[in-house]
Chain A
Amino acid sequence: MISNRFLLCMAAATLAAPGRGVAAQAFPGTLPPAASLVAKHGIAVGGEALLKAASITTKGGMSMPGAGINATFEMVQQAPNRMKMVSTIAGMGQLQVGFDGTTGWAIDPMQGPRLLAGKEFEQMRDEAAPRAQLRSPELFSTVETVSDTTMGGQRCYLVKLVWKSGREAFDCFSPTTGLKVGSKSVQQTAMGAIPVTVLYSDYKKFGDVMFATRTVNEIMGQQQVLTVTSVELGAGTDAAITAPPEIQALAKPKSQD
């Protein structure tokens, strides 16, 4: 579930898009334009700083209380669209995913190393760049506000986003803070498509940016709680996003054997 990985940093996203800086206005009985909601969100999370950063390193933990599973994670993103995330899970080992701007990959103890393909790859490619988290208009064929609703008990405006690849996602923005309250999407995996609902809360400042430090994912009836403990913006190094040897071997042209 690639985009869930990005949900960790979505809160830090901003919008380099028309309408930036325009405060969203709620009109009684009228839904505010999606562009203004997205722009307000971008400003609220300090996304401009994120756009300027050469790298973003996010660390934290994850738990599935019902299943008794705990993990730590570290995600490194490098401009313009490279990333690597390593999750370490007790009793399981490491799960890693990455994207180098061209190739998306994943490796874990259950499935082994693999290069992403099909819809799973499209999802990775769509969402790899930080501007994708900013919901830059040029990435979507449709962005529209569809309802005034609630998620996790909080009122929010639900915005439907249709990627140019055809995938759909829904983000829900707080009318007061502009921050994202939740989202819904269908995540592509090697096993098929899985609906995911996400709730964001406990926003905190990390320097010039703001992150939701608590993210609750509902997936197949299971609850997953992610907690962000640190966010660093920096120069970054290639080593931080280097794929493991098994992936490098898969990605290498056969002529180089």
Chain B
Amino acid sequence: MSLSAVTLGIAGCAAPSIAPSRVEGPRREIIAPGVALATFDSVWTMVHRSYVDSAFVSGKWGSVRDSLRPRALAVNTRAGLDQLLSATLANIPDSHFYIIPARVANEVQSPDDSSDRRGTGGTTGVAVRIAERRLLVWRVAPGSPAALAGITAGETVDRIGDRDAGVAVDRVLSLKNAARDRAASEILRTLNAALSPGVGDVVRIRVRNRGRGGTREHTLRAVPMKGTVSKFGNLPPIAGDVRAARRAAGQPDAGSKQGCVGTIAFNIWLPALAPELERAVYSVSDCAGIIVDLRGNPGGVGAMVMGFGGYFVDSALVLGTMRTRDVSLKFAINPRFSRASGARSQPFAGPVAILVDPLTGSTSEIFAAGMQRLGRMRVFGDRSAGAALPALMEKLPSGDVFVHAIADFTDPEGRRIEGTGVVPDETVALTEKDLRRGVDAPLEAAVRWIEATVVPRTEPRK
């Protein structure tokens, strides 16, 4: 791959389906004359030039310009521009059309400087999911502001900031079928994003513990996310976190090949994480089975699925096909037969499970759907986001970055992931009871499958 292949890498970038525009500029900020119009025209032209749905482009998109361009002429504030762009993009039926505000996109961060990350890359340490028709605390990172405040998994979340969580969830659940799934994913993205504001920013959260009773309100101040911070292209600095662990399987000799299950979890597909991913895979490759935990992973650089998939597949199978208006490109797996050390290796041949949930998006869905359709991996958890389109990130005259899909993507069987998501082979619902007991039900289901899949050892125990 040469320099020009970078374009390919980016074109194959199923950009993370991050929460839209949660950081806005000052509402009354005045923008220079002509900026709004130039920005509107840029957005319109980029979509017109590259959106794969040519019927939409030749039809409705023209009327969008006719109706909104006159409005752009009159816009002279930041807030007005935000509203204009929002109204413009609301006409596009697919995911991966959103604006990263200039304030976020321009945040340059030295990868080795975690001392001052105010304004970006923060976390309160709490993540939420919808379960049993309520918004529940799903995870609390040890030592995080949420943990120190006493928030525990399984608690019901009534409010995040000014947002009534119960009302939001009720509205989503009143929808039907695919619309409900998509809306659930969107609302979860928004609420979880609110819990990961800029470093130093505060978030109010009101939780209810149905076991102990009573409602408590906490004000949490975000701390830097853990992980390797990297800035790739127009994406804001992102902390990539790769975790690997071994756990004893239900076998007598825990720790030996037949007696452990490895788990690999990571929060984003970024090239800077490639060395950590390799170490993670080889740290558990002697286990009987491996679980790839993609819950909450919103995607990243799409081409990475070809390399990561190669740790688990020994031939150049195709995970899916990306089609722009002009070209058709295959995401072919590159089997890993050597290590960075120069040693030869073999791809892992044991059973592999993938965990997904409604916040599993984009590149993560491309990987999960591809491996599932190829019959190489079994998927557990809850249906994924259904937001899997290769996208580009281009800067606008306003300084914002426009993320826009430039291709369609289909799995190895020619089916779209966009809109439908990855449907698990085993759907495992979250429950308040499990969360309160610290039971990770989807993970446990995957472990049970691996244990049942691995041929029991026949030699006698010593």
Residue B11 at the chain A interface, CB threshold 8 Å:
yes
Contact (Cβ within 8 A) B7 A97: no
Given contacts A91-B232, A191-B330, contact A224 B12 (CB under 8 A): no
Contact (Cβ within 8 A) B307 A224: no
Give A67 to B403 CA distance when docked, in angstroms.
10
Contact (Cβ within 8 A) B338 A246: yes
Give A37 to B62 CA distance when docked, in angstroms.
45
Contact (Cβ within 8 A) A245 B11: no
Q: Which residues of A contact B7 (CB under 8 A)?
A: 64, 217, 219-220, 222, 224
Q: How would residues 134 to 173 of chain A score, 1 for a CB under 8 Å from any chain B CB and 0 otherwise?
A: 0000000000000000000000000000000000000000
Q: Which residues of B contact A95 (CB under 8 A)?
A: 1-3, 5-6
Contact (Cβ within 8 A) A249 B334: no
| Contact among A4, A109, A221, A250 with B4 in the assembled complex (CB-CB below 8 Å) | A4
Residue B328 at the chain A interface, CB threshold 8 Å:
yes
Q: Which residues of B contact A22 (CB under 8 A)?
A: none
Contact (Cβ within 8 A) B307 A85: no
Residue A87 at the chain B interface, CB threshold 8 Å:
yes
Residue B50 at the chain A interface, CB threshold 8 Å:
yes
| Contact among B5, B304, B307, B337 with A189 in the assembled complex (CB-CB below 8 Å) | B5
Which size bracket describes the interface of B in this complex? 35 or more
Q: Which residues of A contact B336 (CB under 8 A)?
A: 112-113
The smallest C-beta distance from B370 to any residue of chain A, in angstroms, reads: 14
Contact (Cβ within 8 A) B6 A62: yes
Give A113 to B275 CA distance when docked, in angstroms.
12
The smallest C-beta distance from B281 to any residue of chain A, in angstroms, reads: 11
Q: Which residues of B contact A193 (CB under 8 A)?
A: 327
Contact (Cβ within 8 A) B232 A66: no
Given contacts A110-B304, A113-B338, contact A1 B8 (CB under 8 A): yes
Residue A111 at the chain B interface, CB threshold 8 Å:
yes
Contact (Cβ within 8 A) B3 A4: yes
CB-based A-B contact count at 8 angstroms: 182
For window 221-257 of A, CB contacts with B under 8 Å fall at 221-222, 224, 226, 245-250, 252, 257
Contact (Cβ within 8 A) B394 A66: yes
Contact (Cβ within 8 A) A69 B2: no
Q: Which residue of A lies closest to B302 (CB)?
A: A110
Contact (Cβ within 8 A) A91 B233: yes
Residue A31 at the chain B interface, CB threshold 8 Å:
no
Q: Residues on A close to B: CB < 8 A?
A: 1-2, 4-5, 62, 64-69, 71, 73, 85, 87, 89-93, 95, 97, 106, 108-114, 187, 189-196, 217, 219-222, 224, 226, 245-250, 252, 257
* Chain A to chain B: the 8 pairs with minimum beta-carbon distance, closest first: A245-B342, A91-B232, A68-B234, A249-B338, A109-B274, A4-B4, A5-B2, A109-B271
Q: Residues on B close to A: CB < 8 A?
A: 1-12, 49-50, 105, 230-234, 270-272, 274-275, 301, 303-304, 306-307, 310, 322, 324, 326-332, 334, 336-344, 392-395, 401, 406
Give 30 A-B contacts (CB < 8 Å), ordered by A residue: A1-B4, A4-B4, A5-B4, A62-B3, A64-B7, A68-B393, A85-B2, A85-B3, A87-B6, A93-B274, A95-B1, A108-B5, A110-B9, A111-B310, A111-B334, A113-B334, A113-B336, A114-B334, A189-B329, A193-B327, A194-B8, A195-B327, A219-B4, A220-B7, A220-B324, A221-B49, A222-B392, A224-B7, A246-B342, A249-B343
